Amino acid sequence: QVQLVESGGGLVQPGGSLRLSCLASGFTFGNFAMSWYRQVPGNERELVAAISSGAAWRITYADSVKGRFTISRDNGKNTVYLQMNSLNAGDTAVYYCNKGTFYIGEDYRPTDSWGQGTQVTVSS
């Protein structure tokens, strides 16, 4: 079955950096787009970044993280990453990875496959 296991969260000071990882199994990783979402209690889960499958990656970011976060993937390791720099309190959330589709001309579409999440807390 599909498994997505996030890691790399923690407590970081404002301005600091973290790198999240999501190890995937149970499906052909290279055939699927991958993404990172985040959720704060009481709010809906929001898309942070997505990366397409295939040789020429298409990438999208939420406006709030553009220029600070970078999504990447290593198909040989079945892993998607989220490098987060210049973190601020507004980035505090539980971060989840997701497998989905991200076809040309379309927005990223998530599936029901979610990891357990990793907590990111930005605080001094």
Question: Number of helices (H) and strands (E), helices first, in the chain?
Answer: 0, 11
- Residue-wise pLDDT for 11-30, tens only, equals 999 999 999 999 999 999 99
Per-residue pLDDT at 55 exceeds 80:
no
Task: Provide the pLDDT confidence category of residue 54 given band limits of 50, 70 and 90.
Answer: confident
Sign, Cα dihedral of 100, 31, 79, 61: negative
Distance CA 52, CA 99 (A): 10
Q: How far separated are the first and last CA of the chain, in Å rounded? A: 40
DSSP structural state of residue 29: G
Distance CA 2, CA 24 (A): 7
> Mean pLDDT, the chain, as a whole number?
95
Distance CA 43, CA 38 (A): 10
- Residue-wise pLDDT for 71-81, tens only, equals 999 999 999 99
